[in-house]
């Protein structure tokens, strides 16, 4: 869709849940809670060969959560996931090209990524 801008999806985040929570359980399990009505997402990721992974996710909503909220939040989650996939695919292409030999982290804002890399290193050594 070159030349056309994709519609950005949003959802109404007003509700009893006022803050996001994102939890990572080593080595491949995430739990997410997003603002709005009561909700919970889980995701599991598995290696699928060199430079590849596959996974699945499930979304759960509290009793009485409006259907339009659930639909809009899942569409937003799909959009963010597609954006993340495009970024990580780009990183993988760069790694396969052999450049750069090492990268740098933004040490103030990428603490979770840094911690994950340290956990991988510890598990492999």
CA angle 20, 17, 73 (to 5 degrees): 70
Q: What is the pTM of this model?
A: 0.74
Number of helices and strands (H, E) in the chain?
2, 4
| 43 in any annotated domain | yes
**Rounded to whole angstroms, how far apart are CA atoms 91 and 64?**
41
Please give the residue range of the domain that contains residue 19. Answer: 11-98
Average pLDDT value for the chain: 87
Determine which helix (DSSP H) or strand (DSSP E) holds 32, and give its type and residue range: strand 29-33
Determine the pLDDT at residue 6.
65
- Between strands 29-33 and 53-61, the pairing is unpaired
Residue 3 banded pLDDT, cuts 50, 70, 90 = very low
Residue 103: inside a domain: no
Kindly state whether residue 85 falls inside one of the protein's structural domains: yes
Number of independent structural domains in the chain: 1
Asked if residue 35 belongs to a domain, the reply is yes
Answer yes or no: is 17 within a domain: yes
């Amino acid at each position: 869709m070159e030349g056309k801008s994709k519609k950005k999806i949003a959802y109404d985040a007003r509700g009893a849940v006022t803050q996001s929570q994102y939890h990572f359980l080593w080595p491949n399990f995430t739990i997410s809670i997003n603002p709005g009505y009561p909700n919970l997402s889980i995701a599991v990721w598995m290696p699928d060969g060199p430079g590849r992974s596959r996974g699945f996710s499930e979304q759960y909503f509290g009793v009485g959560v409006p259907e339009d909220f659930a639909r809009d939040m899942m569409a937003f989650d799909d959009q963010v996931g597609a954006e993340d996939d495009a970024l990580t695919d780009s990183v993988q292409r760069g790694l396969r090209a052999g450049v750069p030999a090492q990268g740098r982290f933004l040490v103030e804002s990428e603490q979770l990524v840094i911690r994950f890399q340290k956990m991988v290193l510890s598990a492999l050594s």
